[in-house]
Structure 1
Amino acid sequence: MATGVFWGGNWPAVRFILRDLPPFTLRAIGFTAGALMLLGWARWRGLSLRVAAREWPWLAVTGLFTILGFNLGTAFAQLRMPTSQAAIIAFTMPCWALLLGWGLLGERVRPRQWLGLATGQLGLAVLLGPAALAARSEDLIGPVFVLGAALSWALGTVLIKRRGQWESPTVVITGWQFALCAVPMVVLMLWRESPPSPIAWHGATWLALGYHLVFSICLAQMLWFRNVNRLTLGEATISTLIIPVIGVGSASLLLGEPLTLQVMMSLLLILGAIAIVMLGRRPPP
């Protein structure tokens, strides 16, 4: 539940930050701060920062998909579409995780879960609407970015599950994932962007950045890794049900985005899809 609340509130927070900071700069700051805070906390607690050589490939690949792919995709998406709509599309993730789990983990997809997948696709169709078929390619960039982010998160989650039990503590694994993902973001920030001086940032940007770093980057990401590692795929991903609800509600309250009938219908369909997919899962024998 805490993960869902933290990530739900992060959607408008990121939108506020993007008013002052470009995407690569935002992610460079977030990933670097996340690595320093988590690894520093681990060191302060007396934990070893060493990771076994056999775990590094899994650490790098799962971090690439769950952290870099998802966060970068959602940042660029929010620059091209309303935050509430981006949040709804992003949290089709459990449906994609189900399909990937079927292919990579050999998990059986039952008729009830196929119904959930179909319901989720209907929710996307309602959200994008008939206008998407006639839209210009540049108008679809935002939805494509966020859909790619959802697929990236789903694949990373399934790979974490496929790895099985990790030897290093969760805080250490997550800290090193942020450190690895920070490197390309810093390079791209220096190469492609010229962010404004922190003196010029709005007060809302500072507050949103503080929330983003503490609750989304550190606490929620670490809790997510721990939950996926300890729980079944269904048990872990069911916590995402609350995220689009909080994301849409907070975007409406803080950003003034309208809660249209189209958005509400799409949200209900996708929430229903996740519930059908996850609540209908049978525990492993």
Structure 2
Amino acid sequence: MAIRTTLLTCLSMLAFAGNSILCRLALMERHIDPLSFTTLRLASGALILYALVCFSSRRASATPVAQAATSARQSGSWLGAIALVLYALSFSLAYTNMESGVGALILFGSVQLSMLLYGMIKGERPTALSMVGLLISITGLVLLLLPGSSAPPLGAAGLMAIAGAAWGWYSIRGKGAANPLASTASNFARAVPFSLMALVPLLATLHWDARGLTYAILSGTVTSGLGYVIWYGVMKQLTVLKASTVQLSVPILTAIMGTALLGEVLTLQLMVSCILVLGGIGMVMVSKGRQQTH
């Protein structure tokens, strides 16, 4: 990869890891409740993405701002928005009772496993190597959930698995988007009303302070909005195999950042689980790459 592509790839992976860190920073000391965090994240993400859509349209073709915004609104889908809000809500709720590295591993594992299973359902024929890799990854996730110092509560783990499956579904739906930036902006905006509806029954429990608001807005604008834009730009320079494989770094980056910034402990149980999950997924990616070259 060119130096510029490599640097932007690293930056986007740091942004993905940063989502977990910002969410934990906001929730671990109750600076904000998870539903308010999610709503602010989606709303601020929609605003920055729409601003980028308008800026890029004006720069490329002098399209009026109103016309660019209208075009962006028509790019997304309500199903995409439902998948996005399901991911974002489950993600935040899970992180009220789970460390960042553990959460990122479950999230990432669930995303990849759900996409692999979808491919199998759609008729992709798995190789022996990919099946072995899939079983190793599942073993790693099971190991993480066994009683031990790194094991998360099953409820939180289940929510994060739902978040991963929802993000996998969102990724599959968005794979063929003609304009990923406009589509993402539209889906973020469409997701906000669903998030607001989830707030209504729990109005009495909502709370936030300045730090909580800051973390939520940073998550929406920087690590989600700008992070996704950078990633979409980078993906044009990467093969599907490279784009999938490079994301193996996200749980590791999150665990390291969680240790440095949140004081979380990098336990042997978490490290072994990381090796199994990421190694297994890596085997699947290598197997798919070999299939594509035949």
**For this structure pair, what is the TM-score category when the shorter chain's length is used for normalisation?**
0.7 to 0.9
Instruction: Identify the match of residue 72 of structure 1 among 74, 89, 95.
Output: 89
Measured in 2, the distance between the counterparts of 1:63 and 1:231 equals: 26
> Map of 1:1-285 to 2, 5 A cutoff?
1=9, 2-18=11-27, 19-45=30-56, 46=58, 48-51=68-71, 56=76, 59-65=77-83, 67-92=84-109, 93-104=111-122, 106-130=123-147, 139-161=153-175, 164=176, 166-167=177-178, 169-193=179-203, 194-196=205-207, 200-202=209-211, 205=212, 208-224=215-231, 233-282=240-289, 283=292
Measured in 2, the distance between the counterparts of 1:16 and 1:267 equals: 22
Query: How much does 1:101 deviate?
Result: 1.8
- Count of paired positions: 268
Deviations 1:62-82 (A, max 9, x none): 3332x2222211111111222
Q: Measured at CA, do residues 31 and 62 of structure 1 come closer, stay the same or move farther in structure 2, by a change above 3 Å? A: same
SS at match of 1:91: helix
Deviations 1:122-180 (A, max 9, x none): 1012111157xxx9xx941101001111111112222223xx3x34x322211111000
SS at match of 1:49: helix
Query: How much does 1:96 deviate?
Result: 2.2
Measured in 2, the distance between the counterparts of 1:53 and 1:247 equals: 33
Measured in 1, the distance between the counterparts of 2:286 and 2:127 equals: 12
Q: Measured at CA, do residues 49 and 206 of structure 1 come closer, stay the same or move farther in structure 2, by a change above 3 Å? A: closer
Measured in 2, the distance between the counterparts of 1:253 and 1:175 equals: 32
What percent of counterpart residues are identical? 23
Contact 2:72–2:186 (8 Å) recurs in 1? no
Query: How much does 1:275 deviate?
Result: 1.0
SS at match of 1:109: coil
SS at match of 1:177: helix
Measured in 2, the distance between the counterparts of 1:52 and 1:26 equals: 24
- List runs of 5+ in structure 2 lacking aligned partners: 1-8
Aligned residues: CA RMSD: 2.8
Contact 2:40–2:217 (8 Å) recurs in 1? no
Measured in 2, the distance between the counterparts of 1:171 and 1:155 equals: 18
Measured in 1, the distance between the counterparts of 2:269 and 2:201 equals: 40
Relative to the length of structure 1, the TM-score reads: 0.83
Q: 2:70 is matched by which residue type in structure 1?
A: R
Deviations 1:10-31 (A, max 9, x none): 2121111222111111111111
Q: Measured at CA, do residues 229 and 145 of structure 1 come closer, stay the same or move farther in structure 2, by a change above 3 Å? A: farther
- List runs of 5+ in structure 1 lacking aligned partners: none
Relative to the length of structure 2, the TM-score reads: 0.80
Query: How much does 1:258 deviate?
Result: 1.2
